[in-house]
Amino acid sequence: MHDALALPAVRRLAGGDRAAILEHLLALAPDDRYGRFASALSDHAIAGYVARITLDRDLAFGIGEDSGRLSAFIHLAMHDEIGELGASVLPEYRWQGQARRLFAAALTHAGHLSIARAHLTSGHPAALRIGRGLGYTVETRPTSPRATISLSSTAE
C-alpha cells in the first residue's frame, strides 16, 4: 500500500544524474533562473553549467519523482573552505519543505567537510529564511555574494 504522506527521499547526485539536473534547470522560468543563478541564463549557458559541475567533489542533492525527474535540486560548489550554494524547486513542488530538506542535507554535509561558509550569489529571500530557520547565521550585503551562511554557527 502506498503511503500518501511519505516524502520523497533526498539523495546525493552523481554523474548519472546530469541529464536530470539539466532537465530540472531548463524547466525553470526566467524569473526562477534569475533567483537561482542571479542571472537569466540561456538554455545554452545552463547546459554549460551542468556540464562543469564536478559531482565527485561538489555537493549536489536532489529530490525526485519515481520517473527520475527532479522536483528540487541543490548544488554546493566547493572552493577550499568556501562553498557557493544554489538551489531550485519546481513551482508545483514549492511550500512542501523540499528546499529546507535539501539545504539541511547540503549544509550539514558541508560542515562535516570543514567548509566554513556558503555563499549565496542571489541572496534569494527563501534561501535566507531557510538558512536562518535551520539555525545558521546568515549575513547579507548589497554586493556579490549577496549572502553568506556561516556553517560554524548552527544552534545546538
Domain boundaries, the chain: 10-150
Quote the radius of gyration of the chain (alpha carbons, Å): 15
- Do the Cβ atoms of 69 and 24 come closer than 8 Å? yes
Query: With pLDDT > 90 as the criterion, what percentage of the chain qualifies?
Result: 40
Which region, left, alpha or beta, applies to residue 106 given φ > 0 means left and ψ of -120 to 50 means alpha? alpha
Residue pLDDT, tens place only, 23-40: 999 999 998 898 888 888
Which pLDDT belongs to residue 122? 74
Give the mean pLDDT of the chain: 86
Spatial separation of the C-alpha atoms in residues 84 and 8, rounded to whole Å = 25
Is residue 123's pLDDT more than 80?
A: no
Give pTM, 2 decimals. 0.86
More confidently predicted of 102 and 1: 102
CA distance 36 to 97: 17
Please tell me the predicted confidence (pLDDT) of residue 1: 41
DSSP state of 138: E
Contact 62, 17 (CB under 8 A): yes
More confidently predicted of 1 and 82: 82
CB 99 within 8 A of CB 126: yes
Separation between Cα atoms, residue 125 and residue 132, nearest integer Å: 11
pLDDT value for 154: 53
State the CATH class of domain 10-150: alpha beta
Smallest Cα–Cα separation from 136: which of 98, 85, 96, 75?
85
pLDDT at 86 over 70: yes
Planar angle of CA 13, 19, 45, nearest 5 degrees: 105
Residue 95 vs residue 121, higher pLDDT: 95
Residue 153: the pLDDT is: 55
